[in-house]
Each structure stands twice: as C-alpha cells, then as structure tokens.
Amino acid sequence: MPRIAVVDRERFNPENSQLMMDLCPVNRAGTECISIAEDKKIAIDEKTCIGCGICVNRDPAKSITILNLPDELASQPIHRYGQNGFHLYNLPVPQFGKVVGLLGRNGIGKSTALKVLSGQLSANLGDVEKEATPDDLIAFFKGKEAQAFFEQLKAGNITVSYKPQQVDLIPKSVSGLVKDVLMKVDERGAMDSVVKELEIENILDNDISNISGGELQRVAIAACVLKKANVYFFDEPSSFLDIKQRIKISKFIRNLADEHTAVMVVEHDLIILDYMTDITHIMYGKEGVYGIVSSVKTTRNAINTYLSGYLREENMRFRDKPIQFIEKTEERKAAGELQVSWKGIGATLGKFKLDAKDGEIHKDDVIGILGENGIGKTSFVKLLAGVDKPEKGEVDENITVSYKPQYIDTDSELTVAEVLVDAISKYSTTLIAPLQLEPLFERKIKELSGGELQRVAIARCLSQKAGLYLMDEPSAYLDVEQRLSVSKLIGDIIRERGASSLIVDHDLLFLDYLSEKLMVFEGKPAINGTAVGPLEMAEGMNMFLDDLKITFRRDPDSHRPRINKEDSVKDREQKKAGKLYYS
C-alpha cells in the first residue's frame, strides 16, 4: 500500500530531529529512513518507512503524519510541496459556459488547484526536483477533460484571471486610490459598468488601505473581471460580504460564464455555492497532508453528497456521519424562563442611529441575527452585553453575558493553551475535542490563521460561565465542515446549560441549521438601523427575504435550504402565497 509522510515544517522543532532518528526502528536497523534536511528538520523517506507511527506519537509538536493511501487513490500526485509536503491528486476542470464550484475543507488543496490551473504555481507531478512542462501535463491527463484544457493553455488560447482568497492581505502589496488601482488593470474598458454593478462607486476616491473587508472583496472581484481573460477564478468571493451583497455578487459571477468564458469558484457558504455554480467538484482527504479532487457532479448532487459524507462513485467515506437538516416545525415551544428584556432602546454612534423595539430572550433560545453590514447588529449586541450603554430605553439583564466579538485581537504573545486554561480544564471533551484545538496548544495567538483564531475565540466564549452567549460572526474564516459542527456545538451547549444565545452571521445555511428564532435589522447602512424581534424563524425569514426579493425551498433529499431560481414556478408560487421561506 503506498504511503505518504508529511512533516509540518512550521511546527516541527529541529531540536527533536536527532530524537526522531534515534527512535525510528528503520534507522536503528541501519537504513536511513529519517534524515536531517537542509533546514535542520527531518526528512522521511516514504519508501523505507514501515508506518510504525513511533515518530508520529513521540513528536512533541504533533507535526508528523504518516498515512497509508488506498491503492486506487494513490495515483501520481499532480503536485507536492517539497519532499514531505502536502500532496494534491487530480485537478478540477474549468468548462466554458459554466460556473464550476469547488467544495471541501480548509487545507485540502483548493487554492493549490486554482493556482495550478491559473498558472501561478508550476505543478511538479510529485517530483519535487522538476517542474512539469505543458506537454507533461497534457500526457498526464490523456483521455480526460483536463487534457483539452492544458492543450488550449499551451496553444495560448486561454488567458486566466484570479481573485485571491485573502483579500485582507491586498493592502500589503497594492497601494493607492481604489480608482487608480482599478484603472491600471482595466484591460476590457469596462470599469464604469463593473464599478456600478459591484456598488463601489462611493469608494473610488478612498485609499485601498482605508476600506473595509467587504469593500476590499468587491474591489478584488472588480480587478479580476476587468482583466481580459476567458477563464476566471474566484477564491472565496463571499467572505466579508453581507447576505445582500453575497446574492448580488453571485448573480454577477454567474453572468460572466458564456460559450467563450469559463468560471471556477471556491466557496464555503453552501447557499451561495448552490446559487452561483452549475457543477461542482468535491475535494476530500486530510487537511495539510493530501487532497483528492472528485469527479464533477451537478452542484445540487455535489452538496447533498458532501453532506452525506460518502462518495458513491469513488466508494469513499470521508466523514463518519452524515450532516442532517431537520425540518423545523411550526409548533411553538413553551417559552422558557425570561433571561433578558429590552424596551425601546436607542443609541447614536457618530452619524449612525440605532433603535431596537421591545424584545425578550428566554432560556434555551438560540436566536440568529440577520441584516446588512453597517446596520447596527454589532452595536446592538454590545448594548445587550453591557459593553455600551443605551441613550434611551432600558436593558434589563439579570444574567451574566459571554461575548465573542467580530474582530478578534490577534496581537497576543500568549499561547492557545494559556488563553484556553478554563476550557482545557473543564471542557476538553465538549469544546476542545470537537473544535480540534489540541494541536494548536503550543502556538502563539498572533501566529494563528483566521480559522484557527475563530475556533479559539468560540471555545473561550463558550467556556465562560454565563446565561447569555453573544457571538458576532462565528462562521467567518471557517470551512463548511467547521461551520456545521460549530453550529451543532453551540446549540447543544446552550440547551445543555439552560442558557441562551444571540448569533450574528451572514451565512444563511449556518443560521438556518442553528437558530430557532430570528432578529432582523432593517434600515440604511451607516445611517440608521432598526432591530425587530426575536421572531419565529418563518416570520423573521419572510421579513428578511422580502427585502432581498428571493424565496427559499428545502431540498427534498438533504432538507437543506436552497434559493429558488428567480421567476421559477416555485418562486412565483411562494411569492404569491407570501411564504418566502419554504412552501
């Protein structure tokens, strides 16, 4: 059985290299299986390794993975990063006239696949000494759809444009006014119309270092489509956007695909992935170790398959249990004990005015909060948390509050274990294990990625003793799998403790999975916002969707929510019946 050995070079401590060599039974028998590489860290020879697992168990940093791959999966990788680095098997294929989606966990090679297809990364077909030539790639994919793609690429018939994943890093490499940045890349002479469609006219005179995450995302999408290309790649285009903006950019990206143009998208918001793409590849494997690209499926089928955790064609189970959506009944549960109430509260923050009508939160309530960016959701959460005081009205809170802010302080020298002392001592099985935090214990907070930091912040918030848990955008930076496991975790903990929670988020599937009630924020971003609710799910969603002019149905197989195609029979029927959220 083919074996792969991967060493996380950031985490492995070179002081342990000699220890690993001394422990390895193959080395001890006189054959060099573990050796010391140029960076003083270990290199593992996969051919001589017998897979005993001693180095894996004895490495204090838990940075070594040794895996046996099933024969049918262990074809030659399309790319590997260094001798003991991540392996990517197979590639997704762009198709003209279609939007192709990529669905999978973080660290499974989605961005690597996009970089190989867009020519930013030269694939090496597993030979770390040598980059593959265009002819090598054509031969590698002989008889498959990717062969035609690489033939076209070699013939110069394909020009690609790429929107990177981490738009928050753009100001570090690009400077100047937004309009100057966009003018420089406008090869299509389409700047005026693109800027209008993406609603970024008002920020053209702002410096790129001075705009919000949502604005940066839209500027990055604009820059990508202004380039003259016939294959466009978008890596996580919905991050930092509110739901209204997500729907708009979905339509915008969909409309790019025509017989001369192919589009490929990586996306973790399943409702948006479903809405934006025609066909999808699932990617599975082990994070940071290897990733495999599945055959292509219709997006509906791909998402349902992903939720089921089992790929029938590949005969591959990649999750123990399926993720199931339960149809919520219309029946009202008897309200639990009152925990927090507010009466006509109002606050002014600079030029922004916030009002919240009367509302109550009861024990066991898990309440989702929906609304556009800049409409006062975070400010409202801070009023309830007692972080800020209202100018009028009153908040009656006789309970303790635990608060997870939207932006997490990253500038800390503390380690994860130091920050999570309470969670580690009291909740190792209920929080630390499901959030997979143990491998991060020795890492410093300032060294964590966005997704790792988010999981630490969620664990810290839920490890506090409180009656009300307020969480601002807990799904940000998390992949699909993590979003759904976090939503289950929050719901289970709230009910088990007889507490309540308010969750601000823009991922509607995440909120649908988690919430029983909704608060809806209406108004004009940056000018005024009014909070309504908590309302029953259907009432809250109807109010919210009316503003977006979209309707939702449940998928008959997975029961997940899906957006109806605009003006389809179901869309018209549901609008006529005033039942925008499931018919």
Q: Which residues lie near ligand SF4 (CB under 6 A)?
A: 23-26, 33-34, 44, 49-55, 66
Q: How far is CA 258 from CA 96, 192, 231, 232, 563, in A?
A: 6, 21, 10, 12, 22
> Minimum CB separation from ligand SF4 for residue 20, in Å?
7
DSSP 201: G
> Minimum CB separation from ligand SF4 for residue 28, in Å?
9
Element (H, E) at 302: helix 299-308
Residue 57 or 212 with smaller CB distance to ligand SF4: 57
User: Which of 43, 508, 57 has its CA nearest to residue 268?
Assistant: 508
User: Which of 510, 505, 412 has its CA nearest to residue 453?
Assistant: 412
Residue 28 or 251 with smaller CB distance to ligand SF4: 28
| Spatial distance between the Cα atoms of 520 and 92, rounded to a whole number of angstroms | 39
> Minimum CB separation from ligand SF4 for residue 82, in Å?
16
Residue 60 or 134 with smaller CB distance to ligand SF4: 60
* Token duo for residue 459: 């664990």
CB atoms within 10 A of CB 66: 21
> Minimum CB separation from ligand SF4 for residue 301, in Å?
38
Residue 34 or 181 with smaller CB distance to ligand SF4: 34
Residue 63 or 500 with smaller CB distance to ligand SF4: 63
Residue 34 or 247 with smaller CB distance to ligand SF4: 34
> Minimum CB separation from ligand SF4 for residue 70, in Å?
18
Residue 36 or 125 with smaller CB distance to ligand SF4: 36
Through-space distance between the first and last CA atoms of the chain, rounded to whole angstroms? 51
| Spatial distance between the Cα atoms of 205 and 211, rounded to a whole number of angstroms | 11
Residue 30 or 556 with smaller CB distance to ligand SF4: 30
Residue 48 or 528 with smaller CB distance to ligand SF4: 48
Residue 44 or 408 with smaller CB distance to ligand SF4: 44
CA 485-487-491 angle, to 5 degrees, is 115
Residue 58 or 300 with smaller CB distance to ligand SF4: 58
> Minimum CB separation from ligand SF4 for residue 25, in Å?
6
Residue 44 or 468 with smaller CB distance to ligand SF4: 44
| Spatial distance between the Cα atoms of 467 and 546, rounded to a whole number of angstroms | 33
DSSP, collapsed to helix, strand or coil, labels residue 219 as helix
DSSP 136: H
CB atoms within 10 A of CB 351: 8
> Minimum CB separation from ligand SF4 for residue 51, in Å?
5
| Spatial distance between the Cα atoms of 462 and 423, rounded to a whole number of angstroms | 8
Question: Are 37 and 43 in contact, with CB atoms under 8 Å apart?
Answer: yes
> Minimum CB separation from ligand SF4 for residue 37, in Å?
14
Question: Are 195 and 201 in contact, with CB atoms under 8 Å apart?
Answer: yes
> Minimum CB separation from ligand SF4 for residue 144, in Å?
33
Residue 44 or 518 with smaller CB distance to ligand SF4: 44
Buried b (16+ CB within 10 A) or exposed e, 387-422: eeebeebebebeeebbbbbeebeeeeeeebeebbee
Provide the sign of the torsion angle of the four alpha carbons 442, 448, 453, 457, taken in this order.
positive
Q: Which residues contact 104 (CB under 8 A, 6 or more apart)?
A: 110, 282, 283, 284, 291, 306, 479, 480
> Minimum CB separation from ligand SF4 for residue 24, in Å?
3
Question: Are 5 and 50 in contact, with CB atoms under 8 Å apart?
Answer: no
Rg (CA), the chain: 25
Question: Are 143 and 152 in contact, with CB atoms under 8 Å apart?
Answer: no
For the chain, the maximum distance between any two Cα atoms, rounded to a whole number of angstroms, is 79
> Minimum CB separation from ligand SF4 for residue 66, in Å?
5
Residue 24 or 459 with smaller CB distance to ligand SF4: 24
Element (H, E) at 88: strand 87-89
User: Which of 155, 151, 152 has its CA nearest to residue 140?
Assistant: 151
> Minimum CB separation from ligand SF4 for residue 61, in Å?
14
> Minimum CB separation from ligand SF4 for residue 64, in Å?
7
> Minimum CB separation from ligand SF4 for residue 472, in Å?
43
